[in-house]
């Protein structure tokens, strides 16, 4: 179990990236959703002991992460958003080098580790190729291989499927799902479908704060009967935004399809609206809508 308590981080320029984040994350896949700039990467770096938070506490089992960073690193696998590689080094040699850095000292043990991991991520046949020449999906799978060195109990992956084509994204997600059966895996992303498919628990981070958390099914259930859909001309969109809580829009065949959040028990927002089954994407967009409305209201009061 990973326990995060009142974690706050303020950068030297005054930006408050994290603001009192508290979470309990059990074994299995955990999805951390949030828009760009929400603080996801800052939280991941704090958990990975790459930066020291301004205040708060992090515990992993019996490890006090802030007081014992080396103990956490010994059981951590981390795939950052930007995973750099040496340009001319093969996957096999680079993984061997990283295994040395992770403390796998014996040559025979390293050889077995490297082969096992490259086979697990389906890169064994490409082991002699330079990682710099891999496709995006292959490079991400190599990133998971290096994160699995030393049989970690906590694995953090930050925006792992951004930029991958659908086939590679599906392959990568299947790999994550297999890994997540045994250890704590935190998937930090803004791609809602990845969390819907993989994670039995999730949280939404906006403006450095956790604004929603729970199981996807429970979060979706909160919006039951409150999501409505309408098809309108794009010229009608500004007026619709003024009258309704429009949480999402999509252009389809020259028409604009809007999804609207109604108040509990309110019913249809008006003529032309039909009920729509709520999804985790609706939860995400509704959360962002409420946050932005709150920020706008606070700004208006302070003006």
- Which of helix, strand or coil describes residue 181? coil
Domain map (residue ranges) of the chain: 2-220, 222-302
What integer pLDDT is reported at residue 207 of this predicted model? 92
Long-range contacts of 111-117 (CB under 8 A, 24+ apart): 113/149, 117/145, 117/146, 117/148, 117/149
- Bridge partners, residue 146, by sequence: none
Q: What pLDDT, on the 0 to 100 scale, is given for residue 140?
A: 85
Contact of 111 with 99, CB cutoff 8 Å: no
Give the pLDDT of residue 129: 94
Q: What is the pLDDT of residue 160?
A: 82
**Cβ atoms 156, 188 nearer than 8 A:** yes
What pLDDT score was predicted for residue 248? 93
pTM of the model: 0.88
Task: Check if the beta carbon of residue 42 is closer than 8 Å to that of residue 17.
Answer: yes
pLDDT mean for each 10 residues of the chain (303 residues): 96 95 94 92 94 96 95 91 78 92 87 92 92 87 89 90 81 84 88 90 95 94 94 89 92 87 88 93 93 79 67
pLDDT value at residue 8? 97
Going by DSSP bridges, is the β-strand pair 2-10/16-25 parallel, antiparallel, or unpaired?
Answer: antiparallel
Assess contact for 33 and 204: CB atoms under 8 A.
Answer: yes
Q: What is the pLDDT of residue 30?
A: 96
CATH of domain 2-220: 3.40.50.300
Residue 81: predicted pLDDT: 76
């Amino acid at each position: 179990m990973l326990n995060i308590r009142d974690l706050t981080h303020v950068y030297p320029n005054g930006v408050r990236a994290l603001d009192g984040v508290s979470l309990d994350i059990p074994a299995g896949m955990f999805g951390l959703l949030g828009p760009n700039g929400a603080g996801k990467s800052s939280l991941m770096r704090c958990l990975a002991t790459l930066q020291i938070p301004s205040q708060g506490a992090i515990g992993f089992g019996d490890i006090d992460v802030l007081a014992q960073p080396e103990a956490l690193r010994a059981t951590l696998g981390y795939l950052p958003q930007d995973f750099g590689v040496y340009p001319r080094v093969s996957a096999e040699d680079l993984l061997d080098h990283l295994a040395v850095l992770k403390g796998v000292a014996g040559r025979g043990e390293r050889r077995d580790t490297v082969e096992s991991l490259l086979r697990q991520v389906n890169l064994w046949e490409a082991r002699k190729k330079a990682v710099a020449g891999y496709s995006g999906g292959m490079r991400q799978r190599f990133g998971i291989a290096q994160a699995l060195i030393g049989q970690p109990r906590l694995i953090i992956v930050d925006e792992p499927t951004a930029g991958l084509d659908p086939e590679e994204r599906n392959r990568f997600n299947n790999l994550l799902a297999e890994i997540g059966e045994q250890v704590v895996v935190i998937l930090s992303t803004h791609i809602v479908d990845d969390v819907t498919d993989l994670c039995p628990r999730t949280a939404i981070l906006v403006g450095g704060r956790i604004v929603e958390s729970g199981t996807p099914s429970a979060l979706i259930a909160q919006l039951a009967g409150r999501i409505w859909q309408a098809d309108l001309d794009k010229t009608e969109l500004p007026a619709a935004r003024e009258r309704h809580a429009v949480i999402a829009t999509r252009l389809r065949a020259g028409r604009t399809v809007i999804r609207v959040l109604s108040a509990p028990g309110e019913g249809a927002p008006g003529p032309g609206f039909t009920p729509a089954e709520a999804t985790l994407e609706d939860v995400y967009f509704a959360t962002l809508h409420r946050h932005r409305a709150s920020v706008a209201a606070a700004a208006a009061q302070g003006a």
